[in-house]
Amino acid sequence: MTRLSAPAAQRNRGPILEVLQRVLPARGRVLEIASGSGEHVVYFARALTGLVWQPSDPDPEARASIRAWIAQEKVTNVLAPIALDMMSARWPYLLDPFDAVVCINMIHIAPWEACLGLLYGCEQRLPPGGPLVLYGPFMRGGMHTAPSNAAFDASLRRQDPSWGVRDLDDVVREAALRGFVLEDVVEMPADNLTVVLRAAK
């Protein structure tokens, strides 16, 4: 099996882990959305051993890479990856709820409907107080937070007009409609943010 590697994952995994250590429960089940190469989930699982991690990705190549990383790192608290597409309105085969959901660098490289699908699924699967943790670039108040993010946004929209850096206000508003409250916004390296939302208690 081929292990994919993303330089950005190597750079940002440490700062993201620092936030996860603070906001995730000590024990429980965590669903990672759009796990990509699998580098994040095995790194987090090695550090947060009280949690069982469920990686997911709609791309078969990504799921093969996740399996390869699990085998390479020999982590026992990461389950086999599942195919899960945020453009689907429901997650019918995920029978059990999760205690937390983590989504890194997904909602800007997908149509806006994927963000809505993520929020809908989390509304159905997270318990009261359960965290949804998002990481990536965001606009704030309709403005980019850095020239590099503006250039990245333009590049994304050239690739696909339905993609693009999302405004945090829009995400928080849609999340509130599904019973989530904004708990924290953490500034991260490379002009990214980690956004912590909680299911209402």
Domains of the chain listed by start with CATH number: 7-199 (3.40.50.150)
- Rounded to two decimals, the pTM is 0.96
Q: How far is it, in rounded angstroms, from Cα 99 to Cα 128?
A: 9
pLDDT of 152-175, one tens digit each? 999 999 999 999 999 999 999 999
Pairing type for strands 180-187 and 100-104 reads: unpaired
Which residues are CB-contacts of 153 (< 8 A; sequence separation ≥ 6)?
108, 137, 139, 144, 164, 165
Q: How far is it, in rounded angstroms, from Cα 125 to Cα 110?
A: 21
Tell me which residue of 62, 201, 197, 63 sits closest to 122, measured CA to CA: 197
Per-block mean pLDDT, blocks of 10 residues, the chain (201 long): 85 96 97 96 98 96 97 96 84 76 97 95 93 98 95 97 98 97 96 97 79
Q: DSSP for 45-94? A: HHH-TTEEEEEB-S-HHHHHHHHHHHHHHT-SSBPPPB---TTSS--TT-
pLDDT of residue 149: 96
